[in-house]
Structure 1
Amino acid sequence: MASVCCWTLLVAFVASLTAASSVDPPISPTVHCWCASYPNRTFCSWPEPPNSHSQPVRYIASYSERHQPSVTKQCQLTATNSSSSLEKVWHCPLRDLKLLTDYIINVTTLYDRGSSSHLSSFMLEDIVKPDPPVDIKVSPHNVRAVLMEWSAPPTWMYLDIVPLKYQILYQWNIKGTTKSVTLGPLENTSVELKGLIPGRTYLFRVCAKELLGLGQCSGWSSPVTVTLPKKKL
């Protein structure tokens, strides 16, 4: 009877070890870095992997210049909930970055049975991406034209030193097919769009990019929809 009991306990112990070892380690985070206000408002962020609920994780993040890997700066991490899902997103602000310098960020995921690391490199000039323009206004001028106005993203802090340029996108629908026109770059924050069709409904957006072309355009602004009058105003 005692041998049966010991055998039962041994089987249960081996089963518990097998179950523990079969749990996959957390997925390494996918890190995205961008500079929302050139030259010095830079962040790296990553969503918490989906299996982190079954395995609690924590993160250590640091960054350094590629040619000085021994001189590292630790990230002061913060977490927010994603606006598009329930997942948690972690943020690392990167301070005092220099131009024309290659940087490496190291994000280490710590969990019960070990750790995993993610390394990525970037140059500040390559990751410039302003936030979208704000306060989009579109006013019909007559049956064939509108005046479109907007403001620079408020997070772009040095607009007088590092200006922005803009691209316009307007779209309309014909028998279920979306047509679009892209204009720019423009340095002003207003433009008159002519040659539109009376009575037609248009959707207008604008994006912002650093004036010299560093990095990429922001995401498109919130859309504004306007239907042109059929008769003269």
Structure 2
Amino acid sequence: MKWMVIVALVLPAWSAPCSGTAGSDGEEGLSCVQHGALGTELLLRCDAPAGAARVEWRVNGTTVAAAEDAVGGDQAQLWLRNASLAQEGEYSCHHPGTGKTLRRIRLRVGSPPEKPAIECWAVSYPQTVNCTWKLESEPRLETYFISTYRHGMGAKENECVQPGAGASSCSISDIQMFSITPYVLNVTAVNPLGATMNLFPFVVEQIIRPDPPEDLRVSPIPGASKKLLLEWQPPSSWPFPQYFPLKYLIRYAREGANSNRTIGPYEQTSFTLTGIRPRAIHHVQVAAKDFMDYGDYSAWSPLVSGTPWTQP
């Protein structure tokens, strides 16, 4: 089940609030941060002094091309064609005669955020659903995220709790088991050039995916030269294994072999490998899945190696 709604809002690249600050030369001037989109034409504005049609523009202290004629009698402007990262910097406009600072503009160039790519998994079923997201391309501007969810499109909107302001993950802790009504996660990415929203619907049981099993041990069995004992624990993030048991796949391979062998699933948290080559090192991993076969298997546990018992 995949469907989404995307809403985008792009703000004018030249609009930015300014506040009066003292320039480095001690003169009073307006200072602001202006954001512009890569590849677009950007307009930097300055208050032209009375009776002057032009001002002097500098970038990082170096004089650049003269501004265009005043607009409306009291504005001078500088056009930047096909904005690029190389054009980022500290721009300032100055009185053409006295050099007095009239305005300072810190220009930052980037892109509006694209839609967030979202994943949600119930790694702690039935307690919590964890969601993460990322942007398909880097906007190069500070971007933050707002996350909310509904249980059904017309239901009340709730906060999907993020670990920090604007983080790229969140968790839902009041999930309802076996509900056929989808949850809908709403993630909005916001930066100075725009905002993009993505909706991600899911049914909890369809996104169950435990974390990998833990504490895998591979041990020789005294007197058994063709066997290995495997033991592991359910993932600690799986809260109630006694009520919501897991089943396990085992993947193993002899060192130097060209392929792995996968066996299972098994309900227990231990298993004896038999018929393996004596004295050979074997590499083992285990993966877990909900016993009722909901959702997906976990990732494989870290690789653990062992060698069968060898007679002293």
What is the match of residue 187 of structure 1? 267
Count of residues in correspondence between the two structures: 220
- Please provide the CA RMSD for this pair: 2.8
State the secondary structure of the residue aligned to 1:13: strand
1:97 is matched with which residue: 171, 175, 179?
Answer: 175
Does the 8 Å contact 1:48/1:90 carry over to 2?
A: no
What is the match of residue 25 of structure 1? 112
Q: CA deviation at 1:18?
A: 5.1
Matches within 5 A, 1:44-83: 44-47=131-134, 51-52=138-139, 54-66=140-152, 68-79=153-164
Q: Separation in 2 of the partners of 1:55 and 1:42?
A: 29
| Gap runs ≥5 in structure 1 | 81-87
What is the match of residue 228 of structure 2? 146
2:217 is matched with which residue: 127, 137, 147?
Answer: 137
Q: Which is worse superposed, 96-105 or 181-190?
A: 96-105
Q: CA deviation at 1:16?
A: 7.1
Q: Separation in 2 of the partners of 1:164 and 1:214?
A: 10
Q: Deviations over 1:170-208 (max 9, x none)?
A: 01244xx52211111111111111000012111001111
1:157 is matched with which residue: 239, 246, 249?
Answer: 239
Structure 1 pair 78–139 and aligned structure 2 pair: CA distance change class (3 A)? same
Determine whether 1:197 maps to 2:277: yes
**One-letter amino acid matched to 1:95:** S
State the secondary structure of the residue aligned to 2:117: coil
Q: Which is worse superposed, 39-48 or 156-165?
A: 39-48
Runs of 4+ in 1 over 3 A off after TM superposition: 2-7, 16-23, 47-50
Structure 1 pair 17–9 and aligned structure 2 pair: CA distance change class (3 A)? farther
Q: Separation in 2 of the partners of 1:39 and 1:190?
A: 25
Determine whether 1:167 maps to 2:249: yes
Compare relative contact order (CA 8 Å, sep 6+) and give the higher one, 1 or 2: 1
Q: Separation in 2 of the partners of 1:4 and 1:72?
A: 53
Give the helix-richer structure, 1 or 2. Answer: 1
2:78 is matched with which residue: 13, 24, 35?
Answer: 13
Q: Percent identity, aligned pairs only?
A: 29
State the secondary structure of the residue aligned to 2:68: helix
Q: Separation in 2 of the partners of 1:211 and 1:14?
A: 64
State the secondary structure of the residue aligned to 1:125: helix
Matches within 5 A, 1:31-50: 31-47=118-134
Q: Separation in 2 of the partners of 1:5 and 1:42?
A: 58
